[in-house]
Structure 1
């Protein structure tokens, strides 16, 4: 006869839930990234009037600079989340392959999208910055 501990369900381990959180966040991020990257029209088209207004008042804020910064921000989560699941040495190669695949798909399949080498540079830079942010956070935690 089984003992009562073998029959009764065990309560969920909070550590197991915490261990899954990076995977869940990465999954949500990848869905958002795919929607952004493979949307048939430029995702920032609706912001053009606002950007024109800002550029008129602040000429240093150009569309190209905003787009470059947005592409950096777009890949920051890769640099933060992937090292939680794989060796750090693979993060930048994965980010580079992902962004080249995105830009290639845009070039081949999405007529209204404009692929760019600058997007590849910005996306890879974003992953690198995310990795640096994670490492700075980890170093700070070790000191405290």
Structure 2
């Protein structure tokens, strides 16, 4: 089989060799992002609804207490920061897995998911304390994930426009 020159278009769904996103690069296709998203949703479900979450949270608090300043641990900064970080990959993976969905719709979906988590905790998990602050922090994380996706998309488009040559 003859090799295809790098300047010829690739088959559907596969970039040409030597181009940005070609073999040897870390291109994330919607399918790969979907697989990662499915795995991350399992993590989200465990952390949001499982009794295991309390043990994991206690372990995370212990780790925080040993590694970050005391003023950051506990409910002060550590937990809200964790709630922000919790939703960054969710929004980013949703944007990558569903490229035809508008980023604003991803953001709204993440906010609604956060509200759903808190309502579920209030109704079905009496040991958990639902919080509007958690929704706010999760929403901020989702916004960061969407913004990160838009930045990565702009960089990729810029590289594609410049022929894959990074700026010197």
Same-fold call, TM cutoff 0.5: yes
Query: Is the CA contact 2:61–2:73 (under 8 Å) kept in the aligned structure 1?
Result: no
Counterpart among 141, 144, 157 of residue 126 in structure 1: 141
**When the two structures are aligned, how many residues end up with a matched partner?**
129
The alpha-carbon deviation at position 131 of structure 1 amounts to: 0.6
Counterpart among 27, 31, 42 of residue 20 in structure 1: 31
Matched, 1:67 2:79: yes
The alpha-carbon deviation at position 32 of structure 1 amounts to: 0.8
Q: How does 1:96-115 map to 2 (within 5 A)?
A: 96-115=111-130
What do the CA deviations read for 1:6-53 (whole angstroms, capped 9, x no partner)? Answer: xxxxxxx874x9441111111111111001100125231223444444
Residue aligned with 1:128, SS: helix
Structure 1: unaligned runs, 5 residues or longer:
1-12
- Distance in 2 between residues matched to 1:143 and 1:46, nearest whole Å: 43
TM-score norm. by structure 1 comes to 0.78
Structure 2: unaligned runs, 5 residues or longer:
1-11, 15-27, 160-168
How well do the aligned residues superpose, as a CA RMSD in angstroms? 2.2
Runs of 4+ in 1 over 3 A off after TM superposition: 47-55
Counterpart among 45, 66, 77 of residue 89 in structure 2: 77
Shift of the 52–23 alpha-carbon distance from structure 1 to 2, 3 Å rule, reads closer
Tell which has more relative contact order, 1 or 2 (C-alpha 8 A, sep 6+).
1
The equivalent of 2:57 in structure 1 is 44
The alpha-carbon deviation at position 99 of structure 1 amounts to: 0.4
TM-score norm. by structure 2 comes to 0.68
Shift of the 47–28 alpha-carbon distance from structure 1 to 2, 3 Å rule, reads closer
- Distance in 1 between residues matched to 2:87 and 2:81, nearest whole Å: 10
